[in-house]
Amino acid sequence: MADSHATFDAIVVGAGPAGSAAALALARAGRSVVLLERGPFPGSKNVYGGVIYGRILDDVIPRWWEQVPVQRWVVRRATMVLTETQALTMDFRSQAWGAAPYNGMTTYRADFDRWLADKAVEAGAHLVPSTVVTGLLRDAAGRVIGVSTDRPDGDLHARVVIACDGVNSLLARQAGILPQADATHHVLGVKEVLRLPREVIDERFGLRGDEGLDIEILGGTGGIAGGGFLHTNADTVTLGVVLSLPELAAAKRRPETIIAELKAHPAIAPYLRGATVEEYSAHLIPEGGYDAIPRLHHDGLLLAGDAAGMTLAAGIWLEGVNFAIGAGLAAGRAAGRAIVAGDTSARGLASYREELEQNFVLADHKRLRLAPGLVLSHRLQRVYPALINDFMESMFTVDNPEPKPGLVRLLLLVAKRHGVRLRELLADALRAARVYR
């Protein structure tokens, strides 16, 4: 552990993607930075059930795809809409995604986070694992000047602290810039990692080599608002759900039973036949969108990653790690500028928010600020999965000698059966057009 009286330019708390990116940016700018991680190594405590998109790394780590610990490169993206007995899958494949510079990848967070933290260390950051940050240090004026830890004589001082300590950030709460947690702005992510031989995965999912598949699922969550996912790793597959916290509590159901039901669904079970469970994990995810993002800068303090609520849950796009990396890099750059200018007050750190508003991190959140409300709305979650599947089933059912109805008439008939009026269909279509304009 560093000397308790040592003063760094910056302390970064949490060696996830946001924290490691912030430390990397600071170290490359010549600033002294310590990266604190509560786990024995970066990634040891992180849970992730999706795909990482690497474009944010292009200008940071040249030809990163030759070094990153990838499981598979995603060449297929699919959306599956489920009822208890039906499934509609829209499947897109692009071989361009299977060649450099690639689009998305599946990877284990324990591997990816350690790799990115190692890049920060190579640049000059000091990584200190197995260290729990217990609070903020402040001067007489209330400005943040460091952190206390669970180490003996473990107080560390710095000109700037960057809090990347996850959802419901302890440091943000102590600074008074994180509002009281609102359950409606969070979901519980639960996943299983299941072992299957690589050749079995290739055969069942129509893949070869390092090709991968990512399936996003609407429905199949036991009537609880949320969604599911299934993606391929090298010799495992990951199946999981994200569930509304208030609805999960009201339903009084265990999330593992919901995963078990999804595994047994006739559209999912054939993929997983013979698989053995390697890992079960759960994680709280901030999905409140742009309007739920807290104040991001305080005197001597910046927030990034899950601590700042930067997960984009827009239905079509479900992203988090790339936003965390983008925010971490911006936080590191803003802290570096403030240190050089000699002003690490909230005003001196304000360029952080300005940069995020101009790049994809907050620009995408702002443009899609209404998406969380649409994605979790009653009709989209509870009515439209069955309506869509019944429409497709009716369209493809050959009912000779009856003449085939027109598709518009058929849609209206099916909608009526599900209690949806034409004006509601049009209103929801207009709402979706406004959200994804």
65-86 pLDDT tens trace: 999 999 999 999 999 999 999 9
Question: Average of pLDDT values for 25-35?
Answer: 98
Q: Is the pLDDT of residue 37 over 70?
A: yes
- How far, in Å, CA of 108 to CA of 143, rounded? 38
As given in the structure block, the two tokens for residue 234 are 């090298």
Q: Could you tell me the pTM of the whole model? A: 0.94
Q: Is the pLDDT of residue 2 over 50?
A: no
Instruction: Tell me how far apart the 2 most distant CA atoms of the chain are, in Å.
Output: 87
- Please give the sequence-ordered ranges of beta strands (E in DSSP) within 164-275, or none if there are none: 186-195, 211-218, 226-232, 236-244
pLDDT at position 403 is: 83
Percent residues over pLDDT 70 in the chain: 98
**Arithmetic mean of pLDDT over the chain:** 93
Confidence of residue 392 (pLDDT cuts 50, 70, 90): very high
Q: Is the pLDDT of residue 46 over 90?
A: no
Question: Average of pLDDT values for 342-352?
Answer: 97
Of 50, 411, 8, residue with least CA distance to 230:
50
Of 116, 119, 124, residue with least CA distance to 27:
124
Count of other CB atoms within 10 angstroms of residue 164: 32
Higher model confidence: residue 65 or residue 319? 65
Place of tokens 């609520």: 309
Confidence of residue 3 (pLDDT cuts 50, 70, 90): very low
As given in the structure block, the two tokens for residue 359 are 């790049």
pLDDT at position 1 is: 40
- How far, in Å, CA of 47 to CA of 35, rounded? 20
